[in-house]
Amino acid sequence: MSVIDLGEYGADFTANPYPYYAKMRENGPVHRVRTTDGAEVWLVVGHEEARAALNDQRLSKSPSVLGMTMLDEELIGPNLLVLDPPDHTRLRRLIAGEFTGRRVEALRPRVQRLTDELLDAMEPAGRADLVDALAFPLPITVICELLGVPAADRDAFRRWSNEIVAPSGAEPEREAIESLAAYLGELVEDKRAAGPEDDLLSALIAARAEDGDRLSLPELRGLAYLLLLAGHETTVNLIANAVRALLTHPEQLAALRADPGLLDGVIEETLRWEGPVETATYRFSREAVTIGGTVIPAYEPVLVSLASGDRDPERFADPDRFDITRDPRGHLAFGHGIHFCLGAPLARLEAQVALRTLLDRFPGLELDPESGSLDWLPGMLMRGTRRLPIRW
């Protein structure tokens, strides 16, 4: 099988990968590709095949299958994205209770207050970068408050986070991970010394399973790392992508304004049409695995394209159309199977509050025509733009 070099498509692929994914799907659901950062991997692009691959235990999440470790695991500690059962089962059980629907819903008043404060600060200027003014500060404040990260440390955390999810180079990425590892280690030790407090990290430090099992220091660092990154980076892009989709589809925005009950449809359709995660994190074949008629040999890296799977016409009619009235159930934006995103209820809640309040406050909301071209996030992990200039 020939290798498709995605890097050859340049900035066009970063800005709009969907036509390239469509062409790949026409030639089969699985391809050998060279990613935009130069890695050769197997890429799953069909919806049915992607859904199956996300829950296939023959595809390990642990790079130890290849005799290696991921940089963040090496420097910070294990997290749910690089573990298989029974280790994954154990860690997920210890934290799942903190992300129940009831606990997340209890955060709604705080999310609403934060949103109102951010919009109060935005309003006088008549224009803003939505990412800087709302889409970033809302989820980062929520997750930092949940974990007990001091407000003064959040700007530093943003710099590290941006470098990790969209690296500018190998050395800056390593430096960001090393800085975050040191910071999280100190944070965990400070909280251990301070004793029980009313935040998630303190709860994880104190958490015990029925058999007395507790999280180790590397596990606590790894979980805090995952929750901080996944707890805000994805929601930043969900909020910004939803606003951009509505403002570039005025008939859909008009439909929402006429029927506010369509808000959940906006969120789910954004997750399908322009979800915040383009490809799921790496999987590794433990043995030869046949997917969509293609044999992936043992000990090979595999990426599952959530973005491509959710634009597959075999699953969604007219998939390139943004339609907030469609039934998008079955989309893959939060993954599938045992690695389904624990934070999905929190992301949906924050998006609901942010979108409803923004549109209510600014009925004349539109993209800022003086903003210039969009600056898309590099790489194939996150799907979104660094800025979203708007005015009202």
Measured between alpha carbons, how far is residue 84 from residues 22, 231, 277, 296, 353 in Å?
Answer: 31, 21, 21, 19, 34
Total residues belonging to the chain: 392
Q: What is the mean pLDDT of residues 383-392?
A: 96
Domains along the chain?
4-391 (1.10.630.10)
Which residues contact residue 318 at a Cβ distance below 8 angstroms, ignoring those fewer than 6 apart? Answer: none
Q: Express each pLDDT in 31-73 by its tens digit.
A: 999 999 899 999 999 999 999 999 999 999 999 999 988 888 8
CB-based contact 30:42 (threshold 8 Å): yes
pLDDT at residue 208 greater than cutoff 70: no
pLDDT of residue 212: 63
d(CA 384, CA 14): 10
Asked if residue 301 lies in contact with residue 43, where contact means CB atoms within 8 angstroms, the answer is: no
CA atoms of 262 and 245, how far apart (whole Å): 14
Query: How do residues 133-153 score in pLDDT, each as one tens digit?
Result: 999 999 999 988 888 888 888
For the record, the structure tokens of 66 come out as 């290849």
Pairing of strands 366-367, 389-391: antiparallel
pTM score above 0.85: yes
Strand order in the sheet with 283-285: 4-5, 30-34, 40-44, 301-304, 283-285, 59-60
Q: What is the pLDDT of residue 292?
A: 95
Rounded Cα gap, residues 246 and 18, in angstroms:
19
